[in-house]
Amino acid sequence: MEILIDSANLESIRELNDLYPIDGVTTNPTIVVKEKRTFLPLLKEIQSIIGEEKMLFAQVLGEQAEDMVKEASYLNEEINGNFYVKIPVTDEGIKAIKLLKLQGIKTLATTIYTPLQAFIAAKAGAEYVAPYVNRIDNLAGNGVQVVSDIIKIFEHHHLPCKVLAASFKNTQQVHHVCLEGAHGVTAAPEIIKSFTAHPSTETNVRQFMNEWKSFYGESSNSIIKKN
């Protein structure tokens, strides 16, 4: 399963990419605006941190298919490497996904709230769909169930599109979409950091170190020195 950072903050991306087995970065207009940076140079700097082999996603702003295609083509020319264009699943967005598929430009269908939206986007040629788990929950829906239904539809109809679950407020939601077979998750830096955080782990590590130091009187590089 793929793990992506849902952020455009360079410091956070650099830290998480260094620590964890990260597969890429997703951005959206809201995330980019928060950084108060020029859009294209920011994307290129993100790519310089993660490398060209890892995935980078950026979203178009046009409302008509022709505008989306122009923006996507421009971004695809400017950004090298493993780049994907995020397209919203409006009627015009579905048309844009079809046109971009013909051009060989990789897309992610975003703002997914229903399984049928995902199905249509996959049929149109999207490589990924991004169901909004927590936002669906906030509308009295069941985000995890939507992810599960999308996966089943793709499997039953042999669609090669992947499900990249998005919009999380806690690790429990991530845990559940993992169990349902999501192909990947994209989450904010603080959510990703919480994947490995547990107070008992920290307590155990401190206990191990204290017991070691009580006997050897050392901590850092103790094993190397003793050998």
Closest to 100 measured CA to CA, from 118, 82, 121, 79: 121
Whether 225 is catalytic is no
Predicted local distance difference test score (pLDDT) of residue 97: 98
Distance CA 167, CA 155 (A): 23
Closest to 172 measured CA to CA, from 205, 147, 195: 195
Contact 55, 25 (CB under 8 A): yes
154 Cβ partners below 8 Å, 6+ apart?
Answer: 118, 119, 122, 161, 163
For the chain, the average pLDDT equals: 95
**Weakest mean pLDDT among 93-97, 157-161, 220-224:** 220-224
Looking at the structure, tell me whether residues 16 and 119 fall in a common domain.
Answer: yes
Looking at the structure, tell me whether residues 129 and 210 fall in a common domain.
Answer: no
Predicted local distance difference test score (pLDDT) of residue 186: 98
Distance CA 208, CA 202 (A): 10
Mean predicted confidence (pLDDT) in 150-156 = 98
Predicted local distance difference test score (pLDDT) of residue 27: 98
Looking at the structure, tell me whether residues 63 and 106 fall in a common domain.
Answer: yes
- What are the distances in angstroms from CA 155 to CA 15, 69, 122, 160, 170? 35, 29, 12, 8, 27
Return the half-sphere exposure (C-beta side, CA atoms, 13 A cut-off) of residue 65. 13
Looking at the structure, tell me whether residues 65 and 121 fall in a common domain.
Answer: yes
Contact 50, 21 (CB under 8 A): no
Q: What is the span of the domain harbouring residue 224? A: 198-227
Distance CA 223, CA 220 (A): 8
Whether the pLDDT of residue 161 is over 70: the answer is: yes
Looking at the structure, tell me whether residues 73 and 103 fall in a common domain.
Answer: yes
Looking at the structure, tell me whether residues 190 and 206 fall in a common domain.
Answer: no
Taking only the tens place, the pLDDT of each residue in 43-79 is 999 999 999 999 999 999 999 999 999 999 999 999 9
- Cα angle 182, 187, 188; round to 5: 175
Distance CA 87, CA 108 (A): 6
Q: What are the beta bridge partners of residue 110?
A: 88
Looking at the structure, tell me whether residues 206 and 101 fall in a common domain.
Answer: no
Looking at the structure, tell me whether residues 101 and 213 fall in a common domain.
Answer: no
Instruction: Specify the CATH number for the domain of residue 105.
Output: 3.20.20.70
Q: Of 34, 54, 70, 86, which one is the catalytic site residue?
A: 86
Looking at the structure, tell me whether residues 102 and 178 fall in a common domain.
Answer: yes
Looking at the structure, tell me whether residues 84 and 190 fall in a common domain.
Answer: yes
Say if residue 206 is exposed, middle or buried (CB neighbours under 10 Å; 0-12, 13-18, 19+): exposed
Give the 3-state secondary structure of residue 131: strand
Predicted local distance difference test score (pLDDT) of residue 199: 85
Looking at the structure, tell me whether residues 57 and 96 fall in a common domain.
Answer: yes
Looking at the structure, tell me whether residues 222 and 130 fall in a common domain.
Answer: no
Contact 148, 136 (CB under 8 A): no
Predicted local distance difference test score (pLDDT) of residue 140: 95
What's the total number of domains in the chain?
2
